[in-house]
Structure 1
Amino acid sequence: MPPEELDSFLTTSHAIAHLADRLNQYLGRLMPPPNDRIDPATQGTLDWLHQLDEKGQTFRYGTVRGGKGQGLVRARPNQQRVDFDADVRRLHDAAWMLYAGCSGVLDAHAENQAEYYAEYDVEMPSAMDY
């Protein structure tokens, strides 16, 4: 995928579900199961976060535009209580899994590709000698 295409997508969506879906698509193209998807625990946290912030703006703004004629409304109108400590731990675990887990899988994939192409570069000239 050209970097411009990825940059374009990332600047047009802040919705967690869309971003997680795109990551799952990329992992599915690159990796065999079970590494072809975000792990279930992290996916559950991302789904929970998306439910809280479907449009990707709830946590960025205290108020958002309401429907027709409503003007500005509370970004989180139904939120009554926040277990900040538990929520931060849950988000930290998901962020760490995405950072360390997915980047680790992608690093391993990149290393495998580099080794493959290094071997290919060495073997290809000798295969062409006839």
Structure 2
Amino acid sequence: MYSSVSARAGEIRTLRIIGFGSISTFVGTMVEAMVLTALGALLGIAITWLFFDGLTASTIGGSFSQVVFDFRLSGANIINGFVLAMVVGFWVACSRPGAPHARRFPQSTPEDQRASALSAAWR
């Protein structure tokens, strides 16, 4: 989220200049973060289902006792994993330093000033 916002600070600034408010800019950035979180969660669920569903593993302890694990991916586990991923994604998106950039009023940077000077010179 932070790298997404910081890499696109100019785009966010442009949206703010053409009239989008701080709330709509923040919500747009948050929706993007949540969509990426959902895609990551679905990819993680698919990988887990492909590689770990039905896997049986065992250990041998120090006293030669054996513990057997049988991994089954149920519907409740899938839902809990997806919800947990979305909660963590929302929490990280709101707490990272990138979130305030989407709410802040746009300020011109040296790059913007050079671009304005170049465009004024060509007029």
TM-score (normalised: structure 2): 0.31
The structure with higher relative contact order (CA 8 Å, sep 6+) is 2
Query: Radius of gyration: which is bigger?
Result: 2
Determine which structure has the larger helix proportion and give its number: 2
TM-score (normalised: structure 1): 0.29
